[in-house]
Amino acid sequence: MNALLMQSPIQAIGDYFARGGDLNEFLVILGVLLVLLCGLVFVQFYLRKHRGRQPDDPRKLFRWVVRRLHLGVIERDLLRRMVAELRLQHPTNLLLSYDLFRDHALRYHAQCRKASGGRADAQAKTLDALSHTLFDRPLR
């Protein structure tokens, strides 16, 4: 057996048949190896295809989480604008706790009030409703 391992694969196959090896047995072993190889190729293809769907980018993760929250269009849009305006590197963090959300929401609201000359009351109501939806607590 050790002598077969030391030879080249083609020589080992030739010696196997020279000593009276069975062709059916050889084909079964070859078939099993082929099935294993095809299985490995399939697993690699499957993993590559589905690995891209994982939200490894913080912004992708945020979009994925926001979609799963079943918020209305206005609330989703407000969250996206808030994240973009505040330039958050990890936007999903503001959805993890009420305190983080409140701090970011109040900072965003203050920036919008300053930019609009103090007219951001509708936005304040939407932020408050969003706070109720996400954390069951008022914003202020």
Q: Using CB atoms within 10 Å of the CB of residue 32, give its burial: 0 to 12 exposed, 13 to 18 middle, 19+ buried.
A: exposed
CA distance 136 to 54: 29
Q: Is the pLDDT reported for residue 3 higher than 70?
A: no
Burial class (CB in 10 A: 0-12, 13-18, 19+), 2: exposed
Q: How far is CA 30 from the centre of its chain?
A: 38
User: Nearest Cα to 78, choosing from 130, 117, 115, 120?
Assistant: 130
- pLDDT tens track for 118-133: 677 788 888 999 999 9
Model confidence pLDDT, tens digit, residues 18-76: 787 777 787 888 888 899 999 999 998 888 877 656 557 888 889 989 999 988 898 99
> What does the pLDDT average to over 97-104?
93
Would you state the pLDDT for residue 2?
56
Domain ranges of the chain: 2-51, 58-135
First CA to last CA across the chain, in angstroms?
Answer: 79
CA distances from 50 to 2, 47, 76 (A): 42, 5, 26
Q: Determine the pLDDT at residue 54.
A: 55
What is the pLDDT averaged over residues 94-116? Answer: 90
Q: What is the pTM of this model?
A: 0.58
Count of beta carbons in the 10 Å neighbourhood of residue 135:
15
